[in-house]
Structure 1
Amino acid sequence: MCSSGLLLNFGHADPPIRMTRVLLNGVEAHAGLAAVDAYLGATQEAPGKNPVYGGAHVIEDLLLGRRITLEAFSQGTDCYPRKEIITSFTLEELNQAILLNPRNSYQCYNAAVNGSTRAIHTYMGKLLPSFANLTYSGAGELSPLPNDPGYRTIGLGTRIFLGGGIGYVLGPGTQHNPASRFGTLMVKGELRGMNSRFLRAAFFPGYGVSLFVGIGIPIPILDAEMAQATGISDDELFTDAIDYSSPRRDKPVVGRFSYRELKSGRVKLKGKTVPASSMSSLPMAREVAQSLKKLISQGGFLLTSPVETLPTSSPTLSLQERPLPEGSRQSTTAQGLWNEAQCIRCGQCIGVCPGKVFSFNPSGVFEVDPSRCLKCGLCLDLCPLGALHPEVIR
């Protein structure tokens, strides 16, 4: 799935550095988290001449025990004086390496076709012109969410099989849209316990990098209603075929097929029979199911009840193009020494101010006495929320 990634903590170097830019094997990770934390998106690509390598490949390389090059940069601060570090690490040398996927395991997904006169390259693979082939995703009756469409057993805290290891559902994934049968999951798991057989980097020519993720969810048969839900078959699961050659968000629907038809390998489309192929591996889906079954039967995987089930309704909004708002202007009026509305009463200023302008009274109430200000300027660059505006005598 494209919406996947890895949260890493490298530990502190000596001298320490507050990483503001991080490259892993040349692939940029988001460093705007903390001093030595970074989030590596699976679809982030290496710049320049190596677009076939990206974040997903770094994740797979880590899992395979390979050493990863780390380049980190900073402007330097008093408490983090270092400005650059170039080193290498393996998975075992990280404090944390958490697979954290904002959107996985779609309940259903559209099939893809191409009605144009040229071949196109998409995240649904290569689509031949004139509706000459069809691709689809998902395991149909083996997919988790169609087997529990009311989300009775799946939600926050549900233990799952993730990438060959143990993971958990964090809640609904981004773009969760149960009304359209497009429910999704946000999931996490420790990378160290995973297996590269169930977590594979991929490159789609003409599109980019992605990551194949093996997910299995145990669904307990609580009652007759759950038995009926989990008895769903490929004959009962349908999806629309969408023309991906349309450059618009809302693309034309040109057909509708059951997963039984899709898995047969051929469908009738526009008056002709065309090949239908899966973007996800059905043999691997069966292997995931069998692996999870074996873990449960051996006592290595205990089922958990969700703390909170997935929402059965959720708005899905589209990005709209609107005029940019005018930039707000800084007030030119005097703000005084202390902006009460901006202040969170943390008390940092108490330890710096020699005039004792700021204090907590015996009842724990934060008090300010501007008349005690010495105009020394020690608090001028102190407040992280910009609540102090002292007059300074030079």
Structure 2
Amino acid sequence: MGSFKVNKTIAEINARIRSGKAVVLNAEEMIEVVRKSGKEKAAKEVDVVTTGTFSPMCSSGLLFNIGQKNPPTIKCSNVWLGGVPCYGGLAAVDSYLGATEPTVDDPLNKVYPGQFKYGGGHVIEDLVRGKAVHLKANGYGTDCYPRRDIDKDVTLADLPYAHLLNPRNCYQNYNCAVNLTSRLIYTYMGPLKPNARNANYATAGQLSPLFNDPFLKTIGLGTRIFLGGGIGYVLGAGTQHVSNPQRNERGIPLSPAGTLMLKGDLKGMDARYLRGVSMVGYGCSLAVGVGIPIPILNEEMAWFTGVADSDIQMPVRDYGYDYPNCMPRVLKHVTFAELKSGEIELNGQQVKTVPMTSYTLSLEIAETLKQWILDGSFLLTEAQETIPSE
């Protein structure tokens, strides 16, 4: 990692956590420390910086096992949970529920085709809340798995295994979406009014995990994190991960770049940080809370975690003409600070901005993770495998 005046190890930081001597700040607090004291002094004084984000993350889902409690046993071919189709082409009673899959007979879709009220993300939230959801499954029957049907209500406690397994979370930067056509359009970034009358954006800016470690020097396979109000782990790069984006002088990507694959036990999670989402005209998703601790191993990491909203440049892209053709031009870059102000300038007009990410809950996640570490109930882990970032 280069030659630095300050060098710490994760083992040393964990020893300070255990002894109650660790200095832990959330990412918002770290900005002022780096600005006032400089990166070398900040690296000496601070041990961990906590980050947080709470945003719809469509590439999420639940890997679950329904058990073989009631003989005869079954090999499930088709599975529905809460009326939402699951993928059952795994072992006999293993299935995967995707956050964006809607119910088969969604009442809203019957009235407004293409719109859905309830989907996989809502099933996950209901399970975490302790609600019963309906399980339906069928199989073709074999000598070792003679049963052909299951039809009953289950709760999270009834599932022997239920883990969030999210292929792509925590995007490192993302698009600010506008619509340059003359008609209202519906997207995963929310409804976009015609003629760029609103600009929707995501990520938690200066609190966002991968803005605070832009080269993923401390985040990799095995990194322990806050996930959905419980404990989770990084499995590696998420799908669509971009390891060599164009960056600004602080190392911040100028376009959507790094992503993470995450997992965690759903039975330890909190519905405050896992919310089923219905987006008008688009469909269903799951809003996921993620917090990642950044160990301040040296002054380089102190510098990275001193990133502020004004340092982050986000691309504005047209989702009306360009995005459907998968060739979205960058109309301009704006800072996250400008987006948070409520308006940006585009083509000579002032455009109102709309956040898809809750900054309030993102800060709450960073602060909660900070308290876990200060209480000694959360220790840091060494990444067992790095994620490509350059």
* 1:215 paired to 2:290: yes
Distance 1:225 1:97 in 2: 38
Distance 2:371 2:67 in 1: 36
* 1:116 paired to 2:173: no
> Could you tell me which amino acid in structure 1 is paired with residue 310 of structure 2?
D
In the alignment, what sits opposite 2:328? 251
In the alignment, what sits opposite 2:79? 22
> Could you tell me which amino acid in structure 1 is paired with residue 182 of structure 2?
T
Distance 1:136 1:295 in 2: 30
SS at 1:287 equivalent: helix
Distance 1:141 1:49 in 2: 38
Query: Normalized against structure 1, the TM-score is what?
Result: 0.78
In the alignment, what sits opposite 2:344? 267
Count of residue correspondences: 313
* 1:34 paired to 2:34: no
Q: How far 1:235 moved relative to its partner?
A: 1.1
Cα displacement string for residues 306-337 of structure 1 (whole angstroms, at most 9, x for unaligned residues): 01121125xxxxxxxxxxxxxxxxxxxxxxxx
Distance 1:25 1:161 in 2: 27
Distance 2:102 2:127 in 1: 16
What does 1:1-394 correspond to in 2, within 5 Å?
1-12=57-68, 13-50=70-107, 51-180=116-245, 181=253, 182-246=257-321, 247-313=324-390
Cα displacement string for residues 225-261 of structure 1 (whole angstroms, at most 9, x for unaligned residues): 1111111111111011110002201113222101111
Q: How far 1:49 moved relative to its partner?
A: 3.5
Structure 1, unmatched stretches of 5+, are: 314-394
Tell me, yes or no, if the aligned pair for 2:106 and 2:118 is still in contact at 8 Å: no
Distance 2:83 2:274 in 1: 21
In the alignment, what sits opposite 2:8? none
Q: Which has the higher helix share?
A: 2
Tell me, yes or no, if the aligned pair for 2:141 and 2:147 is still in contact at 8 Å: yes
Distance 1:61 1:49 in 2: 16
Distance 1:80 1:253 in 2: 55
> Could you tell me which amino acid in structure 2 is paired with residue 55 of structure 1?
G
> Could you tell me which amino acid in structure 1 is paired with residue 230 of structure 2?
G
Distance 1:18 1:230 in 2: 49
Q: How far 1:133 moved relative to its partner?
A: 0.8
SS at 1:134 equivalent: strand
Kindly indicate whether structure 1 or structure 2 has the higher relative contact order, using CA contacts under 8 Å at least 6 residues apart: 2
Q: How far 1:48 moved relative to its partner?
A: 2.9
> Could you tell me which amino acid in structure 1 is paired with residue 67 of structure 2?
G
CA RMSD of aligned residues (A): 0.9
Distance 2:280 2:354 in 1: 17
Cα displacement string for residues 187-244 of structure 1 (whole angstroms, at most 9, x for unaligned residues): 0000011100011000001000000000000001110111111111111110111100
> Could you tell me which amino acid in structure 1 is paired with residue 223 of structure 2?
T
Structure 2, unmatched stretches of 5+, are: 1-56, 108-115, 246-252
Distance 2:335 2:76 in 1: 50
Distance 1:178 1:242 in 2: 21
Distance 1:27 1:155 in 2: 32
Distance 1:220 1:168 in 2: 16
Distance 2:225 2:105 in 1: 38
Is the radius of gyration larger for structure 1 or structure 2?
1
Cα displacement string for residues 109-148 of structure 1 (whole angstroms, at most 9, x for unaligned residues): 0100000001111010111100111010001111011111
Distance 2:363 2:389 in 1: 27
Distance 2:330 2:101 in 1: 30
Distance 2:94 2:214 in 1: 36
Tell me, yes or no, if the aligned pair for 2:137 and 2:149 is still in contact at 8 Å: yes
Query: Normalized against structure 2, the TM-score is what?
Result: 0.79
Q: Runs ≥4 in structure 1, deviation > 2 angstroms?
A: 48-51
SS at 2:339 equivalent: helix
Q: How far 1:30 moved relative to its partner?
A: 0.3
Distance 1:47 1:71 in 2: 12
> Could you tell me which amino acid in structure 2 is paired with residue 116 of structure 1?
T
